[in-house]
Amino acid sequence: MGARPTRPVTSQEIEEFHRDGAVLLRGVLPEEWVDVAREGLDAAIEAPDMLSGYAGVDLRVDQFPAARTPALRRLIEASPVAEIVGRALCSPARFYMDQLFYKPQGETISPTAWHQDTCYYNVEGQDLVRAWISPDPVPREASLEVVCGSHRWSITYRPLAGRDPEGDGEARATLERAETDVPMLGADAYDDWNYFSGVRDMSLPPVPDIEAHRDFYDILGWDYAPGDVILFHGNALHAALGNVASVNPRRTHASLWAGRDVRYLHRAGQLIPDPVALYDHEPRTGQPLSDFPDVFPALWAPDERAD
């Protein structure tokens, strides 16, 4: 059994997560694991790899940082994060992938535009959740925002990045080949990957202009303190404001977890490569992630066994 959270996830917090699509869990991550997160994030920031890049002028994003950073791998495998996620889902928690987000101290120009995570990955299901943690205090104006209830809209929106097939013949041909249900990206995609090397599926509807109509939506946001964990649904629309001055850097680790109903789905416009070990399995649409336990390990289950 792994490390335990400092307190139980309450029934009210579980209800909020399922109702609203996001919840802030105050003080559930022990201080020693905040230190591990800080160690891992700093190590990854200092050693970028081929999956490190910028999604804005001053927003660094790394894909799969735990694959190259022992402290982040330890955070995933041995910290209470898996149990926290599993308790909220009421399901085994199966690790899918992780990301690093880094904004430097001072004036942050780049906002994170409103988007949902679902369209960037080859997965579908209701039991898909992000665990968002940071070793830094993050004030409300610089923290994550979520459109309350948007996880229940039953819509997959168009991704914001990627090549536009309407003006790119090669991208259009790639989308047409996607009908064969063979993953477009292979392990070699890691060699020159960036957010704009994939193809946008323009058949999906665009994200609503949340920012221009903020008063119309119930937007959740929090003052975040180290030791807190923000959980939000993979289908929920979320963002972060720009043009915010901060006395601290914002170092964030966001791990993506899957519950029982999450399946592989080959998306026509794949933006983020699959975990590299998955390509050897040649996954097919509809396969549960439990078919690939070596790639997507179940790190916590309600009976405290990873099955």
**Mean pLDDT lowest for which of 24-28, 182-186, 235-239, 274-278?**
182-186
3-state secondary structure 90-113: CCCEEEEEEEEEEECCEEECCCEE
The predicted pLDDT at position 306 comes to 44
Q: Please report, for the chain, the start and end positions of each structural domain, with discontinuous segments joined by +.
A: 11-292
The predicted pLDDT at position 112 comes to 83
Average pLDDT of every residue of the chain: 87
Domain 11-292 has CATH 2.60.120.620: yes
pLDDT tens figures, 21-62: 999 999 999 999 999 999 999 999 999 888 887 776 778 899
pLDDT tens figures, 223-242: 999 999 999 999 999 998 87
On the CB side of 14, CA atoms within 13 Å amount to 14
**Contacts by 6-15 with C-beta closer than 8 Å and gap 24+?**
6/30, 6/80, 6/227, 8/87, 9/84, 9/87, 9/88, 13/88, 14/87, 14/88, 14/90
